[in-house]
Amino acid sequence: MFVPTANLGQTPAKMVINRVIGSNEEQEELNKMAHGVLDEQRSKEVFSSYQCRSLHKPDIKKHPGDIVEAGCLAAQPPPEAKYPLFDSLPTDVVSTGKLSDLQLEGVLYACQRHQIILPNEQRAGFFIGDGAGVGKGRQISGIILDNYARGRCKHIWFSISTDLKVDAQRDLNDIGCFIKVIEGCQQLDKETKYALHAPTLLLIVTIIFYNHY
């Protein structure tokens, strides 16, 4: 809250609580505000609001958060979506928004990429570079659910977090993928007999990185 004050023979000033801002400082504050507006305008030029352009299914739910992507990326048309993702997913996963349009798009392109066999006879991978909170775990769960529905029922999920099991189990259950989750190779050794004959299995392995100087 600004309280106007003025004394005869002194430069007019404005007081903020107990701090006096003279004319020079006031100009600096105005300049900062102007730069803030410019920065916001530049951000709008650099980033664009995300819009799903690859999926054309009427009952798909929009992602609940406000998501932006690089403007140069938004200007490029996405690859043609050929993978029949909706043949495998339960209808309620799509219609109730358990996987949003953004997440479904990530699942589709990942599964589509996995169909490619590289010249070295290895299967192609897919990198999900979404920021925190977008739902990368939910997308991985969607990939597992699609493979599970197509008869590919054993998966390995690598992570650097020892707390991942709870999050992974939650994401899987939320989209209706109820498979046994084994945390770490030690638990896998204990359940080797089960693992060899299990119809469905997700093994979560924690990777620890060490810094060497």
Q: What is the pLDDT of residues 71-81, one digit of tens each?
A: 888 888 889 99
Tell me how far apart the alpha carbons of residues 82 and 86 are, in angstroms, rounded to a whole number: 11
- Give the H or E element holding residue 106: helix 101-114
Share of the chain above pLDDT 90, in %: 38
Please state the φ and ψ torsions of residue 190, each to the nearest 5 degrees: -65, -25
**Is 13 within the bounds of a domain?**
no
Tell me how far apart the alpha carbons of residues 133 and 83 are, in angstroms, rounded to a whole number: 26
**Is 140 within the bounds of a domain?**
yes
Asked if the model's pLDDT at residue 93 lies above 90, the reply is yes
pLDDT of the residue at 13: 42
**Is 26 within the bounds of a domain?**
no
pLDDT in tens, 23-71: 566 666 656 555 554 455 555 568 888 889 899 888 999 999 888 888 8
Query: Could you give the C-alpha distances from 86 to 98, 166, 179, in angstroms and in order?
Result: 14, 27, 20
**Is 178 within the bounds of a domain?**
yes
**Is 161 within the bounds of a domain?**
yes
Please state the φ and ψ torsions of residue 100, each to the nearest 5 degrees: -75, 175
Question: Could you list the residue range(s) of the whole structural domain that residue 157 is in?
Answer: 45-206
Using DSSP bridges, classify how beta strands 13-16 and 19-21 pair: parallel, antiparallel or unpaired: antiparallel
Higher-pLDDT residue of 148, 183:
148
**Is 181 within the bounds of a domain?**
yes
Using DSSP bridges, classify how beta strands 201-206 and 154-159 pair: parallel, antiparallel or unpaired: parallel
**Is 194 within the bounds of a domain?**
yes
Strands (E), the chain: 2-5, 13-16, 19-21, 47-49, 68-70, 154-159, 181-183, 201-206
Token representation of residue 128: 């999900």
Higher-pLDDT residue of 165, 98:
98
Q: What total number of domains does the chain contain?
A: 1
